[in-house]
Amino acid sequence: LADAGIDMPRDWNNIIPAGMKRWWLDPQSPEHGDSGKYFNYDPTEAKALLAAAGYDDPSSLKFKYQYTANRYGAAFNSVAEANALFLNDIGISPEIEIQDYNSVYFTQTFTGNFTGLAYGYETPFPNGGAYPQRYFTDNNLNHSRVNDTELADLTARQQQELDEEARRDLFHEIQRKNAEKGFYFPQQSGAGTGFVAFPKNVNYNDRRTLFYGGGTESIPYWWIDTRA
């Protein structure tokens, strides 16, 4: 499409996926504020941040980088490998551990039982509120074992807020604060799309939701118009 001259905007995921437009905060937008800069690939700035943290020699920073390579496919594995190269670009050479999904990654790393840096998929939720609840509250799948009072409070407040605009503001603040504090860094390892133009399929494009919500929020409302 881009080669045909059609504008192809590329939305970047935040910890709320770009597909959830109602709650998503665009990392490339002015509304994200100063923390939006952390989504950019900037080795020079990364080295400056390391120096400010006391690591004038980035190679002195030692930690393990872990992911699984026998579950999610080639695109995921390529991004996982690229992450290690990004670290190399700023002088960091982590210990790389490629984990078996069933015996190590899912039972240990996915549940937050690891040290260092981990890369993996997040469960796709049908509602935006499930993401900060997973990331920032006391639960068995808080992957990074984040215990941050400010983000926990924002998460609780968005769950209780009934005004849509006010709740959106809370979601946006959660995304700004996560980027500022650097707990989770969203990446894109795969995507899908679909459409239907057959006139008999009624409500297919009007009643759609994301991920696991399809069985209850989409499919029951589709029907075939036998008159078409």
Name the token pair of 142.
């808080």
Q: Are residues 163 and 201 in the same domain?
A: no
The whole-number pLDDT of residue 114 equals 96
Q: Looking at the predicted structure, is the pLDDT value of residue 193 above 70? A: no
The whole-number pLDDT of residue 28 equals 95
The whole-number pLDDT of residue 148 equals 98
Identify whether 69 is part of a domain: yes
Question: What pTM does this model have?
Answer: 0.82
CATH, residue 161:
3.10.105.10
Q: Band the pLDDT of 192: cuts 50, 70, 90.
A: low
Identify whether 162 is part of a domain: yes
| Cα gap 67→81, rounded to integer Å | 9
Q: Are residues 224 and 159 in the same domain?
A: no
Q: Looking at the predicted structure, is the pLDDT value of residue 157 above 70? A: yes
Identify whether 75 is part of a domain: yes
The count of domains in the chain is 2
Q: Are residues 155 and 213 in the same domain?
A: no
- Beta 223-224 vs 201-202: how paired, if at all? antiparallel
Vertex 38 angle, CA 37 and 41, to 5°: 90
| Cα gap 126→214, rounded to integer Å | 8
Q: Are residues 54 and 121 in the same domain?
A: yes
The whole-number pLDDT of residue 196 equals 54
Quote the domain boundaries for residue 160. Answer: 30-181
The whole-number pLDDT of residue 208 equals 63
46-55 — which CB contacts under 8 Å span 24+ positions?
A: 46/90, 47/90, 47/91, 50/90
| Cα gap 25→159, rounded to integer Å | 18
